[in-house]
Chain A
Amino acid sequence: MGVQLGAIRRRPKGLAALWNVQNFRYLVQAGFLATVVVMAVRHALVPESVVNSPPSPEAYCPFGGIETLYHWITTGKYIHHATSSSLIVLGGVLLGSLALKSSFCGWICPFGTFQEALTGITRFLERRFRAVARLAKTLKARTRGLEVVDRYLRWGKYLMLAYFLYGTILAARMVFRPYDPYITALNITEATLGPGLVILIATVVLSFFTERPWCKYLCPLSPIVGLVGKLASVKIERTSTYCKDCAICSVACPMNLPVATASRITAVDCNDCLKCVDVCPRTGALDLTLRWPWSKPLVSAER
Chain B
Amino acid sequence: MTMRLNPFAYGLLAVVLFLGVIYVSKAAGVWNTSHRVTASGEQITVDVSDVDTVKGWMTFEDVSKAFGIPPAEIFAAMKLPADTPPSKRLKDVMHANRMEVDDLRDWLKKRGAGDT
Contact = CB atoms under 8 A, between A and B. Distances in A.
A53 B14 CA distance: 30
B10 A289 contact: no
B17 A99 contact: yes
B114 interface: no
A278 B6 CA distance: 11
A230 B20 CA distance: 22
A28 interface: yes
Contacts, number: 125
A36 interface: no
Interface in A249-303: 272, 274, 277-278, 284, 287-292, 295-298
A169 to B, nearest CB: 16
A260 to B, nearest CB: 19
A278 B7 contact: yes
A107 B15 contact: yes
Contact of B89 (A24, A49, A84): A49
A107 B32 contact: no
B14 A100 contact: yes
B52 interface: yes
Interface stretch (A85-93, A119-127, A149-157): A85-93
Contacts of A296: 2
Interface in A137-174: 173
Given A88-B30, A107-B14, A289 B57 contact: no
Nearest to B20: A92
B7 A274 contact: yes
B3 A85 contact: no
Contact of A288 (B7, B20, B22): B7
A126 B45 CA distance: 56
Interface string A90-120: 0111011001100110011000000000000
B31 A85 contact: yes
